[in-house]
Structure 1
């Protein structure tokens, strides 16, 4: 009986973990989100055009869509400034900053991978 409970507990923990990984991958999926988050982690605030210049290769429509997704998921904030013409600034949220160690680890993994594969 105890062995059955341990197996069920492991199975439940596995399901919880897999669901969490799926959620994370869905929120952070795509070609651009890590680049946008990384850029905002390195800069206090950036306007739309500055982000467009920093995120090499992204188009304005895609940047706009990705920023909306990140804002919807509480990873960045969008502030409309009272200027003429109106300008917008983006900033990483406190919750978004919790991604920094994860991004650092992914970068380290990638560096080591390149060293291993491209000797």
Structure 2
């Protein structure tokens, strides 16, 4: 539920895109042509009435020469001045060491083990008839 003091993410993204457009002195109409959308489609999204979809954000970022995360509000992407990757890593549950096999590192625990060296392994046949 939206309150008077809290804006929806679509409004904040629209403001960021509008700021990038202003810095480049690009109109919404020119952006619409560049991303192959109608002017009305882009206008409604820049006003925050409707949210941009992820494919649009990708195209807009390419046109503006920025990354998709540059189009997102900084406080939503980088809480406490951390990068988006750090924020995701900080909130992702880590696999506890106790669930890993003993004597292996976390990276090694997912690798297949084989007594045949990789250089001598044959690829697994796909869709090969059985018994012929």
* TM-score scaled by length of structure 2: 0.31
Task: Say which structure, 1 or 2, has more relative contact order (CA 8 Å, 6+ apart).
Answer: 1
User: Which of the two has higher C-alpha Rg?
Assistant: 2
**Which is richer in helix?**
1
* TM-score scaled by length of structure 1: 0.33
**Which is richer in strand?**
1
